[in-house]
Amino acid sequence: MAEKRLSTVNLVAKLACEAVKEVVEGTTGSQIRYAPTIQRIPMVSLKPELGAFVEFTGDYSGLFCMNFSGAAALEIYRRAMQFMGLPEEELAREYTSDEVINFLGETVNQIIGAMRRKIEAQFGLTARNSQPRAIAINQTITLLLNTMIDRPQCRRLSFRTQENAPFYVELGLEQTEFIPLETPEETDVEDILSQFS
């Protein structure tokens, strides 16, 4: 039985899952889990309590957003700082502090970079991204890019920290499909030219 091929947006979402896990676990020295289900959603939104978003454009374009519960934001920040050797008494205690917000903005920058590298390695396509913005918020803000006005493809991925605090990725991609070309066989130019002499 042939293996079912994932749609492009679901392939990108899968690569995003891998990038989030690698970066967060690598910076915190702790385990995170993600749900084995990708959710289709109508739009990408920043949600309480802390959100970070970044636009990417190039061979493919879209929007990457991470939404953290206050508990997840604080846990990821504190674990990362302790993993780097900072003493407990020097760490922020509120998820709304500038240190936590700035740290998660930088974390999202590392994650989008890792995701872009994975897409380039697998598909040979490149994109660049703007500087991520992270903010503490208390109400949902829907985000929309011009490239996503016509039937955006949006997905949500669900994660849990080691202490079971929830956080999420919301990903929006323009209408696009990555279709691999057949690998051309090695061709000898001299053989081709000799056919016309």
Q: What is the pLDDT of residues 60-119, one digit of tens each?
A: 999 999 999 999 999 999 999 999 999 999 999 999 999 999 999 999 999 999 999 999
User: What pLDDT digit, counting tens, does each position of 153-173 carry?
Assistant: 999 999 999 999 999 999 999
State the pLDDT at residue 2. 44
Specify whether the CB–CB gap between 114 and 22 falls below 8 A. yes
Tell me the C-alpha distance between 28 and 41, whole Å: 29
Query: Taking 70 as the threshold, does the pLDDT of residue 28 lie above it?
Result: yes
- What are the structural domains of the chain? 8-178 (3.40.1550.10)
Specify whether the CB–CB gap between 130 and 61 falls below 8 A. no
State the pLDDT at residue 66. 98
3-state DSSP assignment of residue 128: strand
Closest by CA to 64, choosing from 103, 9, 122, 6, is: 9
- What value does the CA radius of gyration of the chain take, rounded to a whole number of Å? 20
Specify whether the CB–CB gap between 61 and 127 falls below 8 A. yes
pLDDT band at 1 (very low <50, low <70, confident <90, very high): very low
